[in-house]
Amino acid sequence: MRITTLEALAEKIKSCRDVTILTHSHPDGDCTGAGLGLCYYFRSVGVRANVKNSDGFPKLFDFLTDGYQDQEFEEKFVISVDVATPELLGDSLSCYAERVDLCIDHHRSNSGYAKDSYVDGGCCAACLIIYELLKLLGAKLTPLIADCLYTGIATDTGCFMFDSTGPGAHSAAAGLMEAGCRAAAINRRMFQIKSRGRILAEHRVIDTMTFSDDGRIALIAVTNEIIDGCGIDRAELDGFAGIPLSVEGVEIGITLKQQPDESYRASVRTVSADASAIAARFGGGGHIRAAGCTVGGTKEEAARAVMAVAAEYL
Amino acid sequence: MRITTLEALAEKIKSCRDVTILTHSHPDGDCTGAGLGLCYYFRSVGVRANVKNSDGFPKLFDFLTDGYQDQEFEEKFVISVDVATPELLGDSLSCYAERVDLCIDHHRSNSGYAKDSYVDGGCCAACLIIYELLKLLGAKLTPLIADCLYTGIATDTGCFMFDSTGPGAHSAAAGLMEAGCRAAAINRRMFQIKSRGRILAEHRVIDTMTFSDDGRIALIAVTNEIIDGCGIDRAELDGFAGIPLSVEGVEIGITLKQQPDESYRASVRTVSADASAIAARFGGGGHIRAAGCTVGGTKEEAARAVMAVAAEYL
């Protein structure tokens, strides 16, 4: 069933006991922050809760998991956060696909797989939903919970830069800073610091940039050769998808990232075109200005295929 | 005299008639937004007002000056915004050096040259002071005034990324978005879009990066050869000062920019050291994490000199 008001969601949350919270695989800042923030809230009001994902949390977020330990209990309620479809739970959590009690998400494309779902597709981050939920619940925001939620809102909005950023994101950031989140340190870690390898990789990736349709479409390719050659971690590739759209005149930016199995995953970013529609043509999905899909073939074949479809959406 | 409360500043503003507002030379987003925002406010309440600076407003900000025209009146009151010392007014406004009635500024280093000064050194942007002032005055924020103030707050905080960003900056952004500012378009223009020449220039500048003190100090040099070779405008060099500090492990980042007269201007950015103290050693100044100064000698001499002083502040 669809839960349509935050008040109804809050009522549901109040009745939860012995909760397992699931995030999507390859966890990013938003699902990590939302999962842990909600978990720390439950624990703060005496409700046992754990967070699980298929891959473990990346080292990048260790300031949020520092001190986190699984609790022992028999799970009575399962919540997924920021998980649009059960496939995104990943292999080791696929057993949960049909037994999620409550899904809290901000993807319009949410498939409604959970028993109950609260989906706010207009919200820039799952963490913003959790923030507003906790405020409604009258929760005391500890600095750690504030760090979790700030991390998700900041990363999903590109530090308040993307079109998805609304006044609510800024109001939440103000509230989270007042609650003691370490915004400056988080910003530096998420957005400013790059390893020398990452800077080198950006360098090499920019050399791969190609344009089509009078410079309105740009594409870069991040190959395993570049990743391995520069000695960087795949978690460091996050910001790369923004590079093509940063070039003046580009309306659709495509980033091909070669996967460990050699296939290509495309990130599509747009100024005004519907990115999720482009990704959907390859079986992918996402948001209206940022979406992703897997594309078959060699690098050249994948590039041609995505650029051709993108051109239809100019 | 120092004006110490926003309330006293508001009283002063209420009594102003026929106002000339001055900003610093080489205007950036903050002084442009603060000057124009205040001017549009005065005009909205029937007070005649103009904005002047030594260089004219850069094309980058034409969405704020679109429709702006000087009014005819005999000037009765002079306000400077975001101008720490009279020298910063630049050559063509130097006649005003000793006749500024009121200075509104956020530089701790403000020299107190005006008859009355309101200086909030803890504030991330002059535009944030103007926002809080207008709120106190009960002003109706038009979308254009909101665009002005958002531009200044966003540019002076690096889109809410720098350490100087406090909860007040986010609260103001939320209020300005509710007042109709075009945040998404402004962010894209200020932070996301780069010309192909600018991307090429970044490329070449990163090749000039040198390190000292076990990688804790990094320096890049933007020479006239790079600027001319890539065909970019000097106004496009703004973000370059952040590059050295973006490298993992770097605590003090120095950017040398060659000037049209071949001298070097150094931008100093720091994680925790006092940038304004480093700049002051060369007769410059600024904020605690971002400051600037002019350094004599060749590129190599300037680099050695600034790196040596910076090392004392590690």
* A248 vs B163, B187, B194: nearest CB: B194
Query: What is the average per-residue pLDDT within B11-34?
Result: 96
Nearest residue in chain A measured CA to CA from B210:
A196
Please give, rounded to a whole number of angstroms, the shortest distance from the CA of A205 to a CA of chain B.
11
Question: How many CA atoms are closer than 13 Å to the CA of B63, on its beta-carbon side?
Answer: 19
| Assigned domain for B29 exists | yes
Query: What is the average per-residue pLDDT within B140-165?
Result: 96
Unique residue bearing structure tokens 């106004």? B235
Tokens found for residue A266: 């495309």
> How many A×B Cβ pairs under 8 Å?
95
Nearest residue in chain B measured CA to CA from A270:
B188
Which strands, in side-by-side order, build the sheet including A49-52? A49-52, A19-22, A77-81, A102-105, A116-119
Residues B171, A174: C-beta atoms closer than 8 Å: yes
Q: What is the pLDDT of residue A231?
A: 87
Q: Are residues B169 and B261 located together in one domain of the fold?
A: no
Those residues whose C-beta lies under 8 Å from the C-beta of residue A305, and which sit 6 or more positions away, are A282, A295, A296, A297
Q: Are residues B155 and B52 located together in one domain of the fold?
A: yes
Least confident of A10-19, B51-60, B92-101: B51-60
Q: Are residues A96 and A233 located together in one domain of the fold?
A: no
Could you read off the pLDDT of B116-127 as tens digits, one per residue? 999 999 999 999
Q: Are residues B109 and B205 located together in one domain of the fold?
A: no
Q: Are residues A165 and A273 located together in one domain of the fold?
A: no
| Assigned domain for A223 exists | yes
| Assigned domain for B1 exists | no
- When divided into structural domains, chain A yields a total of 2
Q: What is the pLDDT of residue A94?
A: 96
- Chain B hits for A174, Cβ within 8 Å: 167-168, 170-171, 174
Residues A194, B247: C-beta atoms closer than 8 Å: yes
Q: What is the pLDDT of residue B121?
A: 93
Residues B177, A196: C-beta atoms closer than 8 Å: no
Whole-number Å distance between alpha carbons of B82 and B125? 8
Question: Which of B196, B245, B250 has the most A C-beta neighbours within 10 Å, making it the best mutation to test the interface with A?
Answer: B196
**Residues on chain B bordering chain A, Cβ-to-Cβ distance under 8 angstroms:** 159-163, 165-168, 170-171, 173-175, 177-178, 183-184, 187-188, 191-196, 199, 203, 206, 242, 245-248, 271
Long-range contacts of the stretch A91-95 (C-beta < 8 A, 24+): A91/A25, A91/A54, A92/A54, A93/A22, A93/A25, A93/A52, A93/A53, A93/A54
pTM reported for the whole predicted model: 0.86
Tell me the pLDDT band of B251, cut-offs 50, 70 and 90. Answer: very high
Q: What is the pLDDT of residue B203?
A: 82
Residue-wise DSSP of B89-100: G-GGGGGGTT--
Q: Are residues A96 and A179 located together in one domain of the fold?
A: yes
Reported ipTM:
0.85
Q: What is the pLDDT of residue B267?
A: 95
3-class DSSP assignment, residue A206: helix
* B194 vs A195, A246, A271: nearest CB: A246
Query: Of the residues A191, A210, A239, which one is the last residue of a structural domain?
Result: A191
Do residues B68 and B100 lie in contact, with contact meaning Cβ atoms separated by under 8 Å? no
Residues A160, B160: C-beta atoms closer than 8 Å: yes
The rounded average pLDDT for each run of 10 residues, N- to C-terminus, in chain A (314 residues) is 96 98 95 98 98 92 94 98 96 96 95 97 96 98 98 96 95 98 94 85 88 96 93 80 90 95 94 95 91 94 96 96
Q: What is the pLDDT of residue B181?
A: 98
Residues A175, B195: C-beta atoms closer than 8 Å: no
Q: Are residues A86 and A114 located together in one domain of the fold?
A: yes
* B170 vs A170, A184, A247: nearest CB: A170
Q: Which helix (H) or strand (E) holds A292?
A: strand A290-295
- Chain B hits for A214, Cβ within 8 Å: none
Q: Are residues A81 and A146 located together in one domain of the fold?
A: yes
- Chain B hits for A245, Cβ within 8 Å: 192
Q: Are residues B159 and B271 located together in one domain of the fold?
A: no
Tell me the pLDDT band of B253, cut-offs 50, 70 and 90. Answer: very high
Q: Are residues B26 and B160 located together in one domain of the fold?
A: yes
3-class DSSP assignment, residue B290: strand
Range of the domain at A104: 6-191
Query: Of the residues B174, B191, B208, which one is the last residue of a structural domain?
Result: B191
Q: Are residues B109 and B226 located together in one domain of the fold?
A: no
Do residues B18 and B75 lie in contact, with contact meaning Cβ atoms separated by under 8 Å? yes
| Assigned domain for B146 exists | yes
CATH number, domain with residue B281: 3.10.310.30
Compute the C-alpha angle B94/B63/B53, nearest 5°. Answer: 0
Please give, rounded to a whole number of angstroms, the shortest distance from the CA of B157 to a CA of chain A.
11
Whole-number Å distance between alpha carbons of B290 and B173? 22
CATH number, domain with residue A83: 3.90.1640.10
Q: What is the pLDDT of residue B133?
A: 98
Phi-psi region of B201 (alpha: psi -120 to 50; beta: other; left: phi over 0): alpha
Residue-wise DSSP of B92-139: GGGGGTT--SEEEE--TT----SSEEEE-TT-S-HHHHHHHHHHHTT-
Those residues whose C-beta lies under 8 Å from the C-beta of residue B66, and which sit 6 or more positions away, are none
Nearest residue in chain A measured CA to CA from B192:
A246
Least confident of A96-110, A193-207, B31-45, B297-311: A193-207
Nearest residue in chain A measured CA to CA from B186:
A161
| Assigned domain for B281 exists | yes
* B187 vs A161, A196, A245: nearest CB: A161
Tokens found for residue B67: 């429709």
| Assigned domain for A1 exists | no
List phi, psi (to 5°) of B270.
Answer: -135, 155
Percentage of chain B surpassing pLDDT 70? Answer: 100
Residues A160, B173: C-beta atoms closer than 8 Å: yes
Strands B290-295 and B264-270: antiparallel
| Assigned domain for A301 exists | yes
**Residues, chain A, total?**
314
Question: Which of B187, B206, B210 has the most A C-beta neighbours within 10 Å, making it the best mutation to test the interface with A?
Answer: B187
Q: Are residues B36 and B151 located together in one domain of the fold?
A: yes
Assess whether pLDDT exceeds 90 at residue B174. Answer: yes
| Assigned domain for B298 exists | yes
Q: What is the pLDDT of residue B76?
A: 98
Could you read off the pLDDT of B229-247 as tens digits, one per residue? 998 888 778 779 989 998 9
Whole-number Å distance between alpha carbons of A25 and B237? 39
Please give, rounded to a whole number of angstroms, the shortest distance from the CA of B54 to a CA of chain A.
29
Q: What is the pLDDT of residue A203?
A: 82
- Chain B hits for A160, Cβ within 8 Å: 159-160, 170, 173, 187
Query: Of the residues B176, B191, B206, which one is the last residue of a structural domain?
Result: B191
- Chain B hits for A173, Cβ within 8 Å: 160, 167, 170
